[in-house]
């Protein structure tokens, strides 16, 4: 029963629609009605600006980190309930949030939050790869995909089986959720960022 409670809590944490909350409370906007219609940080940046985008990014990262820490908060060790497994439920909640009609974000920041909670060095590697790619390409979507692939490669080299399995799933989520962006990049219609 306690296991189920932890998984549900992780899902509910992930379901907190940070972009929707920030948009409505501070800007009077539902970001689902603007830009890409996505609830994630990228659409928040485009729709509401830098401050809102940073706030939503940090909140979405924190969701993944807190979910990953739940087993420890409930007194489990890593052999009883693996924190990465719990973290995945936060990502599912972010992508399909019960508090926002199951229309969520693309799981990038929340996935990064899981890594921050469990493998901080990998988190730093992924952030570094993301910003290098963003500097070179100006595409947030492409940089997110490359960061996901880099996390997978890192886990293969340095990780154990739980890390490899979960990072593989996270990378798949990120790539799958960006399939429309991949098509727009091919068509040269994907928006670029100009602040980096």
71-126 residue pLDDT tens: 999 999 998 999 999 999 999 999 999 999 999 999 899 999 999 999 999 999 99
The widest CA-to-CA distance across the chain, in whole angstroms, is 51
Q: Does residue 194 sit within a domain?
A: no
pTM (2 d.p.):
0.93
**Mean pLDDT (whole number) for 173-190:** 94
Q: Does residue 19 sit within a domain?
A: yes
Question: How high does pLDDT run on average in the chain?
Answer: 94
Structural domain total, the chain? 1
Kindly tell me the sign of the dihedral angle through the C-alpha atoms of 92, 25, 66, 162: positive
Task: Give the integer Cα–Cα distance in Å for 130 and 138.
Answer: 11
Q: Does residue 77 sit within a domain?
A: yes
Question: 100: helix, coil or strand?
Answer: helix
User: Which among 34, 38, 4 is positioned nearest to 18, based on CA atoms?
Assistant: 38
User: Which among 193, 151, 170 is positioned nearest to 92, based on CA atoms?
Assistant: 170
Q: Does residue 128 sit within a domain?
A: yes
Q: Does residue 195 sit within a domain?
A: no
pLDDT value at 169 more than 90:
yes
DSSP string across 126-189: HHHHHHHHHHHH--HHHHHHHHHHHHHHHHHHH--HHHHHHHHHHHHHHHHHTHHHHHHHHHT-
Answer whether 121's CB lies under 8 Å from 187's CB. no
Q: Does residue 193 sit within a domain?
A: no
Q: Does residue 24 sit within a domain?
A: yes
Q: Does residue 192 sit within a domain?
A: no
Domain, as residue range, for 18:
2-187
């Amino acid at each position: 029963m306690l296991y189920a409670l932890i998984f549900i809590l992780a899902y509910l944490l992930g379901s907190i629609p940070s972009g929707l909350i920030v948009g409505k409370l501070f800007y009077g906007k539902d970001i689902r009605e603007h830009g890409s219609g996505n609830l994630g940080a990228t659409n928040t940046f485009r729709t509401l600006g830098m401050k809102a985008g940073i706030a939503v990014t940090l909140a979405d990262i924190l969701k993944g980190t807190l979910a990953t820490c739940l087993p420890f908060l409930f007194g489990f060790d890593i052999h009883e309930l693996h924190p990465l497994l719990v973290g995945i439920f936060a990502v599912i909640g972010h992508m399909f949030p019960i508090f926002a009609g199951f229309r969520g974000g693309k799981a990038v920041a929340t996935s990064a939050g899981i890594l921050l909670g469990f493998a901080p060095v990998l988190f730093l590697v992924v952030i570094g790869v993301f910003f290098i790619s963003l500097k070179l390409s100006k595409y947030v979507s492409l940089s997110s995909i490359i960061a996901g692939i880099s996390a997978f490669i890192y886990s293969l080299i340095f990780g154990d089986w739980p890390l490899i399995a979960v990072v593989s799933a996270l990378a798949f989520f990120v790539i799958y959720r960006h399939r429309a962006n991949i098509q727009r990049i091919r068509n040269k219609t994907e928006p670029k960022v100009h602040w980096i």
